[in-house]
Structure 1
Amino acid sequence: MSRPLREARVDLDAVAHNIRVLRGNIGDARLMTVVKSRAYGHGAVAVSRAAIAAGTDWLGVVDIAEALELRAAGIDAPILAWLHGPEAGFDDAIAADIDLGVHYLQQLDRVADAAGTASVQLKVDTGLGRNGAVESDWRPLFEAAAEHERAGRLRVRGLWSHLANAGEGEDLAQVAAFERAIADALSAGLTPELRHLAATAGALRVPSARFGLVRVGIGTYGLSPFDDASSADLGLRPALELSAGIVSVKRAPAGTGVSYGFDYRTPVETSLALVPLGYGDGIPRQASGRGPVSINGRQYRVAGRVAMDQFVVDVGDDEVAVGDRAVLFGDPGTGVPSVDDWARAADTINYEIVTRLGGRIEWTYAARD
């Protein structure tokens, strides 16, 4: 069976492996697999099913629409959706048994006024500076939530925040702030069963931040959140391989300009291979001249600028033919470039490389084991 011209192949066995490894690192805490932004570019429905089969307890998304997509696919695991616009409607989410992240009074009141009895998880800001109630607003928010809970308009299932990953001292200060938030919530009459602060980085390196549940995003996909530890160092397997079939190979004399602006000229007579992926598919233009590519077991670099639909690889005198696969990244344990290699080439982070993919790429799912 022929492969798609442009293919993002996801190894669901790697996802399951990563879930098991991460669970082995978090002690007795429950695990939420974060599948926002199409499961970090890997496919939310397929990854969610694999994660549930591997033993995850919760799924986490940003938007209600993302949560409803999972429900429409028949996924009935607990889901938390946590970022809502000021005009967001909550009726459908409540009817679908989706927990709602809430972080300010007006939003809490709107959820309480929606149809049905909502399950909410209150978000506090312990130092990241994004959404979440600031400390001076904790008490009013908690007291209002307790009043709504007593009236049967909602129930408070969780209390949570997010680490900034700004260093050990900052992390521990946030842990202390979260403990204050828990104490304030309890004194206001709330008894949230779920208390969570840590994502992948905190789950692995800040044991005091684990509380009763951890939210694992990037680690699920076999990618490291750290600059000083690779996926292999953490025992994780990258789950996504991005490749394309080469559509043109031609000989070019020395001095041939390649792609827009002629930033690259062939130093000698050579062969140029054309890969049908470009920034229209999420390939970073910033990686022009630097992005690594593996063809037939050998590694090369993008020659010249990445265009909207394609880029060129100078393969020298190597035997490369139309139809051969160019692998941009995958599991480096198999000898191909890594997502981190592309992140360095584009001066960004691995999170961005995988989540930006789209355009004409086709997603397929395979098991390596």
Structure 2
Amino acid sequence: MTTANTTGTPALTEGVRAEATVDLAALRDNLAALRARTNGPELMAVVKADAYGHGALQCAREAIAAGAGWLGTATPQEALALRAAGIRPDQARILCWLWTPGGPWEQALRESVDISISGQWALDELLAAVRATGIPARVHLKADTGLGRNGCQPHDWPDLVDNAAKAQADGLLRVVGVWSHFAAADEPGHPSIQSQLDSFAQALAFAERSGIDPEVRHLANSPATLLLPQSHYDLVRPGLAMYGLSPVPDVGTPADYGLRPVMSLAARLALVKHVPAGHGVSYGHHYVTPGPTTLGLIPLGYADGIPRHASNTGPVQIGSGRYRVAGRVAMDQFVVDLGGETFEVGEEVLLFGPGDRGEPTAEDWARACGTLSYEIITRIGGRVPRRYVGGVQ
């Protein structure tokens, strides 16, 4: 059972200590805004890491309903779980890009998962699986254009492309994609951006000369989707932006790009008590009350994904007031100094949300902890139930 607060927003489900609410209507609206901004390329909804903590299956289904024809996953297990849950190849292509030796190549082939290849070892293992199953692979060749992470280095690119082209000629695979990833698309004017655009163009040109004619060429992550139209090619891969957060918070807010944060996190006050001046709070007494005050106990901690770096700094809203974490964040709980205000046990505490009620946002938490909003939302753990609102699937 849920109730509604005075703004009409669904409140916490009755009886829960904490809850993350995921607004699937906002997710669909964000995807529509991104499609309108790119105006042409196909869209891959990136649902890796349990859809950045929002729930991979629920978000994948809503993304498909919103017109996304591709889903992006990191690990093979993420991709296979979506297929096992009933997302069919005729509904969405699924790309998986983070492979290690001995991976489930044969199962991925049987489930029509597109496979990213960054090196010869991976191509060799994939071809062994193709021969064992008799199922030709759909391959995306990934070039390292300067990120220095996954992807094939330029000096190895000719051999990888030539070997893939030979396997394609033998009917063992089809190279359906050529792609790469930016290092600093979230830093407008960074010299690596143009360097990577040039390097990707060169990698594409070599692949085309080798007989590769991919269905999709893709380079644009969330910041590039918003800021670099020259990188859009045939497909864009929004991740964070899909979930309504700005990947370039120093350049523009979510609202500036027509986006709305999808996740809200709330809890209930578990205890309210009066304490005297000079009272230490939480481990190590890194916060001592400056005067007589009221403390509120919030039943969320670093085991739930609340950053320990939020100690003495993380913001929350209770009623119409803003408060900050007092003392260290513990495994299961943290404390706020209510400054003498008294609230009822069970009162709703808003940690972050869209900001409509004046509550903090995930970006506020990121700034308080010296990190990125990506980390704030993806680290909310499995002990925190998800409640989905506004879905059509």
Matched with 2:155 is 136
Q: CA deviation at 1:317?
A: 3.0
Find the residue that maps to 1:316 and give its secondary structure: coil
Whether 2:293 is the aligned partner of 1:270: answer yes
Q: How does 1:58-137 map to 2 (within 5 A)?
A: 58-76=70-88, 77-114=92-129, 115=133, 116-137=135-156
Letter in 2 for 1:154: L
Partner Cα separation in structure 1 for residue 15 and residue 234 of structure 2: 43
Whether 2:42 is the aligned partner of 1:27: answer no
Which of 192, 195, 199 is 1:170 aligned to? 192
Partner Cα separation in structure 1 for residue 15 and residue 352 of structure 2: 17
Kept after mapping to 2: 8 A contact 1:278/1:306 = yes
Q: CA deviation at 1:3?
A: 5.2
Whether 2:244 is the aligned partner of 1:222: answer yes
Letter in 1 for 2:287: Y
Which of 285, 296, 299 is 2:319 aligned to? 296
Matched with 1:285 is 308
* Larger displacement relative to structure 2 (281-290 or 258-267): 258-267
Matched with 2:11 is none
Kept after mapping to 2: 8 A contact 1:264/1:304 = yes
Q: TM-score, normalised by structure 1?
A: 0.97
Q: How does 1:51-62 map to 2 (within 5 A)?
A: 51-62=63-74
Matched with 2:369 is 346
Kept after mapping to 1: 8 A contact 2:60/2:71 = yes
Letter in 1 for 2:207: A
Q: CA deviation at 1:172?
A: 1.7
Kept after mapping to 2: 8 A contact 1:14/1:239 = yes
Letter in 1 for 2:128: D
Q: CA deviation at 1:297?
A: 2.5
Find the residue that maps to 2:177 and give its secondary structure: strand
Kept after mapping to 2: 8 A contact 1:32/1:60 = yes
Which of 21, 30, 34 is 1:18 aligned to? 30
Q: Percent of pairs identical after alignment?
A: 48
Kept after mapping to 2: 8 A contact 1:81/1:101 = yes
Kept after mapping to 1: 8 A contact 2:96/2:114 = yes
Find the residue that maps to 2:380 and give its secondary structure: coil
Cα separation, partners in 2 of 1:368 and 1:43, compared to 1, 3 Å: closer
Kept after mapping to 2: 8 A contact 1:200/1:217 = yes
Find the residue that maps to 1:312 and give its secondary structure: strand
Find the residue that maps to 1:293 and give its secondary structure: strand
Kept after mapping to 1: 8 A contact 2:272/2:342 = no
Partner Cα separation in structure 1 for residue 380 and residue 79 of structure 2: 21
Q: CA deviation at 1:179?
A: 0.9
Kept after mapping to 2: 8 A contact 1:8/1:363 = yes
Matched with 1:362 is 385
Letter in 1 for 2:34: L
What is the number of residues matched between the two proteins?
369
Q: CA deviation at 1:334?
A: 2.9
Find the residue that maps to 1:59 and give its secondary structure: strand
Q: CA deviation at 1:257?
A: 1.2
Q: CA deviation at 1:345?
A: 1.1
Cα separation, partners in 2 of 1:50 and 1:368, compared to 1, 3 Å: closer
Whether 2:191 is the aligned partner of 1:191: answer no
Q: How does 1:325-336 map to 2 (within 5 A)?
A: 325-336=348-359
Letter in 1 for 2:367: R
Letter in 1 for 2:244: G
Whether 2:201 is the aligned partner of 1:179: answer yes
Cα separation, partners in 2 of 1:3 and 1:339, compared to 1, 3 Å: farther
Matched with 1:207 is 229
Partner Cα separation in structure 1 for residue 188 and residue 258 of structure 2: 23
Which of 317, 329, 336 is 1:313 aligned to? 336
Q: CA deviation at 1:368?
A: 9.5
* Larger displacement relative to structure 2 (21-30 or 359-368): 359-368
Kept after mapping to 2: 8 A contact 1:61/1:79 = yes
Gaps spanning 5+ residues in structure 2: where? Answer: 2-13
* Superposed structure 1 runs of 4+ greater than 2 Å apart: 166-169, 316-319
Letter in 2 for 1:302: V
Letter in 2 for 1:86: P
Partner Cα separation in structure 1 for residue 320 and residue 342 of structure 2: 11
Q: CA deviation at 1:110?
A: 1.4
Find the residue that maps to 2:40 and give its secondary structure: coil
Find the residue that maps to 2:206 and give its secondary structure: helix
